[in-house]
Amino acid sequence: MFRRVLGKTLGFVGYTIQYGCIAHCAFEYIGEFVVCSGPSMEPTIVNHDVVFSERMSRHLCKIQKGDIVIAKSPFDPNVNICKRVIGLEGDKICTSSPSNLFKTHKYTIGRHLDKVIETQHKAKSASAIHQMKVPKGHVWLEGDNLKNSTDSRSYGPIPYALIRGRVCLKLWPPHTFGTLSESPTQRINKPPSNSDSD
């Protein structure tokens, strides 16, 4: 009697482990469902939309410009962000960044040292536009709702390995089911296509 119960429990545990591992592999290597919140990707993705993000492109390093990706936030790895890839490594990005930090901090190092270290971030005028190159192994992310999005324009390019997956399908609400549209902003520099007629 005891042996039967033990046998059944072990069998149940074995099945749980097996199906748990299969589920982990599916979510880690195939895709996962994501509930989006926040206004930073309007009008493409709005609050409470459910999307499906696939993982294979990320593992095979096939993320391209214009893809919407889910990534870990560089400031809190437990928080995920959903943004569009504007530039890959080596691309040149025009950024105006009027909201740069202007703070000046004075730090005294150690009680015995009289050194005062001053760090000052350069103040940039609102109209200054500068071009920067996305460093190796990084990507530049921006939300579609440029006015209401905290993205690479504030914290700079993020490492490619923080990307979790590429959003490929919108599942909810049902009337917007289907693939996602192209970027409404004109921020992506597509390389000039070869044309036959000059």
Is 151 exposed, middle or buried, given 0-12, 13-18 or 19+ CB atoms closer than 10 A? buried
- 83 tagged catalytic: yes
Choice from 16, 104, 148, 181 touching other proteins (CB under 8 A)? 104
Nearer to other proteins, 132 or 171 (CB): 132
> How far is 5 from 3, CA to CA, in rounded Å?
5
Asked if 107 interacts with other proteins (CB under 8 A), we say yes
> How far is 119 from 12, CA to CA, in rounded Å?
61
- 53 tagged catalytic: no
> How far is 141 from 67, CA to CA, in rounded Å?
10
Strands 158-159 and 163-172: unpaired
Min dist. Cβ of residue 20 to other proteins (A):
8
Catalytic residue among 65, 83, 149, 152: 83
Asked if 101 interacts with other proteins (CB under 8 A), we say no
Nearer to other proteins, 20 or 98 (CB): 20
- Nearest-CA neighbor of 152 among 75, 62, 63, 51? 75
Written as six digits, the tokens of 68 are: 């919407």
Asked if 123 interacts with other proteins (CB under 8 A), we say no
- Nearest-CA neighbor of 91 among 43, 142, 165, 144? 142
Residues 165, 53: contact at Cβ < 8 Å?
yes
Choice from 1, 2, 4, 75 touching other proteins (CB under 8 A)? 75
Strands 31-35 and 50-54: antiparallel
Asked if 133 interacts with other proteins (CB under 8 A), we say no
Choice from 6, 10, 13, 22 touching other proteins (CB under 8 A)? 22
Choice from 42, 74, 132, 150 touching other proteins (CB under 8 A)? 74
Choice from 6, 13, 25, 56 touching other proteins (CB under 8 A)? 25
For binding to other proteins (CB under 8 A), which residues are involved? 17-18, 20-22, 24-25, 28-29, 61, 72-78, 103-111, 117, 119, 135-138, 158-162
